[in-house]
């Protein structure tokens, strides 16, 4: 039976992967621990537990966040997407498929975080967000070419102890290329560079 709320805990309803989960959590419980220890959603990994490695990355209202630095009580009211919520039935998310096809992993421990981060990177890039290596940051310049350097910079918060970075960059580029091809009015303005990275 769930413990009753107290001065140090609260009843919350978390919306995760389209499902609502009701529970009482200690106010100090991180979103990462709530996912793994309370809900058995162990796809989200704990690496450093201090915001340094990206292994615990999930999407909160579509934006990537490290769940080890988020409190579960603060996540109430947000749409949380974890790696378990990426696929549609048997159909993998295009980013998952690209990681699989291009061997974007070795041991796989960092992979859920890499994939969640890559999904957001592709959306951020399509929305025209610049990165630290973008040459022309004027809004009218539009999305910068998604070069390997752009991908490396945008994915730099996700560490891979196996060093699978070459394949990870290729997988992100391939998924971005597919995203561009299916986006309304999108074509391959950046596709050439994404293709180069994916090659």
Considering only 45-53, 125-133, 144-152, 172-180, which stretch makes contact with ligand FES by CB under 6 A?
45-53
Total interface residues for ligand FES by CB under 6 A: 23
**In the complex, least distance from residue 109 CB atom to ligand FES, rounded to whole angstroms:** 5
Which of these ranges, 17-25, 78-86, 136-144, 157-165, lies near ligand FES under the rule CB under 6 A? 157-165
User: If binding is defined by CB under 6 A, does position 28 make contact with ligand FES?
Assistant: no
- Separation of alpha carbons 193 and 45, rounded Å: 31
What is the helix (H) or strand (E) element at residue 177, kind and residue range?
helix 165-182
If one asks whether residue 53 binds ligand FES (CB under 6 A), the answer comes out as yes
- What mask, x for binding ligand FES by CB under 6 A, covers residues 102 to 141? ---xxxxxxx------------------------------
24: nearest Cα among 16, 60, 14, 68: 14
Cα–Cα nearest to 32, from 60, 4, 6: 60
Q: Which of 25, 29, 55 is nearest to 42 (CA)?
A: 55
Shortest separation between residue 102's beta carbon and ligand FES, angstroms: 13
The backbone torsions φ and ψ at residue 147, rounded to the nearest 5 degrees and listed phi first, read: -75, 165
For position 189 contacting ligand FES by CB under 6 A, the verdict is no
Residue 47 or residue 94: which is nearer to ligand FES going by CB? 47
CB 59 within 8 A of CB 81: yes
Residue pair 127/144 in contact (Cβ under 8 Å)? The answer is: no
As a whole number of angstroms, the distance between CA 44 and CA 27 comes to: 20
Instruction: Looking at residues 57 to 96 of the shown chain, list those that interact with ligand FES (rule: CB under 6 A).
Output: 66, 68
DSSP β-ladder status, 19-26 and 9-16: antiparallel
Nearer to ligand FES, 11 or 162 (CB): 162
Q: Tell me how far, at minimum, the Cβ of 164 lies from ligand FES, in Å.
A: 5
- Residue closer to ligand FES (CB basis): 41 or 68: 68
Closest distance to ligand FES from the beta carbon of 85 (Å): 18
| Token digits of residue 42 | 């162990």
Work out whether strand 79-81 and strand 19-26 pair parallel, antiparallel, or are unpaired. Answer: unpaired
**List of residues contacting ligand FES (CB under 6 A):** 46-49, 51-56, 66, 68, 105-111, 160-162, 164
């Amino acid at each position: 039976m769930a413990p009753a709320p107290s001065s140090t805990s609260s009843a919350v309803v978390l919306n995760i992967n389209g499902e609502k989960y009701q529970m009482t959590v200690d106010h100090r419980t991180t979103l990462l621990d709530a996912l793994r220890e309370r809900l058995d959603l162990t796809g989200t990994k704990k690496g450093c537990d201090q915001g340094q490695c990206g292994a615990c990355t999930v999407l909160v209202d579509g934006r990537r966040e490290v769940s080890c630095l988020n409190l579960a009580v603060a996540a109430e009211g947000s749409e949380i997407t974890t790696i378990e919520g990426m696929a549609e039935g048997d159909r993998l998310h295009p980013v998952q498929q690209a990681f699989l096809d291009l061997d974007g992993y070795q041991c796989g421990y960092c992979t859920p975080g890499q994939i969640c981060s890559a999904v957001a990177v592709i959306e951020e890039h399509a929305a025209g967000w610049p990165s630290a290596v973008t040459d022309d940051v004027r809004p009218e310049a539009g999305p910068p070419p998604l070069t390997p350097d752009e991908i490396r910079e945008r994915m730099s918060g996700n560490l891979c102890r196996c060093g699978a970075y070459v394949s990870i960059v290729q997988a992100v580029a391939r998924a971005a290329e597919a995203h561009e091809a299916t986006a309304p009015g999108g074509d391959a303005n950046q596709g050439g560079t994404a293709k180069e990275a994916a090659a």
